[in-house]
A and B are shown apart, each in its own frame.
Chain A
Amino acid sequence: MTKPRTARSIGAASCKGCGLLVEVSDAPKALHHCPRCHTAVYQRIPDSLARTWAFLLAAMALYIPANLYPILTLVSFGQKNSDTIISGVFSLMGAGQWSIALIVFVASVLVPIVKIVVLLFLVLSVQLKIQWRPDVRTRMYRVTELVGRWSMVDIFMISILIALVKLQALANVDAGPGAAAFAAVVILTMLAAMSFDPRLIWDVLEEETNE
């Protein structure tokens, strides 16, 4: 098997800001700046795995209060109704709004879980030097990074409801602590995905062909 020619193998790295191929030294934490856009250029994101782990663990911890606490509370004619993320999906289903219920279910329940699981799998696969289908794993990474932000849909929905439904005794919607925890989960998983360097998936293969 011929060794694939990577940027690292010729002492260069792709600039994250503008895509220019920049000459960098091999020292893992050496700081270089792109001559074209001045973005810091690294061969691999420094401490990529440790930072991804940190963000992932924090996201998993906050995932619990995000689902236990209400994300919003409706008070109407003295009656109080709280919704968690899951019960929000059910109440949409109860109202017969199947398509919106499905969108909210995918964005708020499915995507965060799948994203956390995929990132855990990717980090572990790099740490355990697993060689299984790097192309598939890179695609998994690409899709999670693309889709993850859509979980913010519930937070935006809440921001509309609390501003609009303020009719004193008639109807009043307030945000709940679950919303803050959930927004933190989404942001932490985004930071985890940004910290993960997909090139690490491929490095194992090159180390193999070196031997």
Chain B
Amino acid sequence: MPDILRKLPETGPYIACPECDLIHERGRMRPGHVGVCRRCGAVLFKSQHNSLDRTLALSLSGIVFFLLASYFPLLSFRMEGAFRSNQLLDGTFEFVNEGYFFLAVVVLVSSVLAPFLVLVLVSSILLPLKFGVLPFAVKSQVRILEQIRPWAMAEIFLLGILVAFVKLGDFAEVSVGVSFYSLAMMVVATVLAFTTLDEHELWSRIREVENG
């Protein structure tokens, strides 16, 4: 049995299912091929063609959309002649004003910081690799990326804005700002960036660059 381990190079041919621990052989992979655990059905790997280039392009455009989203108003609201619009960070500031610091942190992290940081990390890992340069502290960057991802909730934030829009529509005139569409584009770019990302290719690329 320990034979398997002796044959484990850093991008080994064997992987274990993260959800049921069963050992699988990666086998020969065709692009577009998705490996699924034969015991519990968990996705083990996705094999993609040119995955790193596409993920990089998507995450860079995601950053552009984020910057647009943080500059323009999200929603604007008109009632009896009074007018107001809000921006990305206004909800956080308002929670602070009302003394709900916990909610301010939760909303800031999940709707702004984490989604942005995810895109920044993906870009700062993949951009140097593209030019054959080893990214700064690449292992820590990948590790932090994995830890942040569950807390990035831009897509849920988007739905929250829609619900607010509908609720307000009952008693006032509401319109959607440029920022909302930019945020929606950012969500699409992020989702696509991760569906095209082939982790195996990422690690082989890091290894290649490391070894010159």
B23 at the interface (CB under 8 A from A): yes
A119 at interface (Cβ–Cβ under 8 A)? no
Number of residues from B at the complex interface, CB < 8 A: 70
The reply to whether A9 and B1 contact each other, CB–CB distance below 8 Å, is yes
Question: Quick one: which of B102, B143, B160, B172 contacts A180, CB cutoff 8 A?
Answer: B102
Interface code B183-212, partner A: CB below 8 Å = 1, 0 otherwise?
Answer: 000000000000000010001000000000
Evaluate contact between B159 and A103: CB separation under 8 angstroms. yes
Number of CB contacts from chain A to chain B under 8 A: 222
B203 pairs with A18, CB closer than 8 A: yes
Taking the nearest CB of chain B, how far is it from the CB of A94, in angstroms? 10
Chain A hits for B42, CB < 8 A: 138, 142
Given the contacts A14-B21, A155-B103, A161 and B16 also touching, CB distance less than 8 Å = no
Of A53-61, A124-132, A162-170, the stretch lying at the interface with chain B is: A162-170
Which of A156-185 touch B at CB < 8 Å?
Answer: 156-167, 170-171, 174-175, 179-180, 183-184
Q: A156-B107, A157-B160 are in contact. Are A183 and B102 (CB under 8 A)?
A: yes
For the complex, would chain A's binding face be called helix, strand, loop or mixed by DSSP majority?
A: helix
> Is A11 interfacial (CB-CB < 8 Å)?
yes
B166 near A202: Cβ-Cβ < 8 Å = no
Whether B84 contacts A166 by the Cβ 8 Å rule is yes
CB of A129, distance to nearest CB on chain B (Å): 16
Name B8's contact: one of A18, A21, A153, A167 (CB within 8 Å).
A21
Q: Roughly how many angstroms separate A158 CA and B103 CA in the complex, as a whole number?
A: 10
* Chain A neighbourhood of B95, CB < 8 A: 159, 162, 175
List 15 extra interface pairs beyond A139-B41, A162-B94, CB under 8 A: A5-B22, A7-B16, A12-B5, A14-B15, A21-B16, A37-B139, A38-B139, A135-B41, A156-B159, A159-B107, A163-B91, A163-B93, A165-B77, A170-B82, A179-B100
Per CB-CB distance, the 4 closest pairs between chain A and chain B, nearest first, are A156-B160, A159-B91, A7-B16, A163-B90
A residues neighboring B (CB under 8 Å)? 4-14, 16-21, 23, 35-39, 76, 92, 95, 97, 100, 103-104, 107, 134-135, 138-139, 141-142, 149-150, 152-167, 170-171, 174-175, 179-180, 183-184, 187, 190, 194, 198-199, 201-203
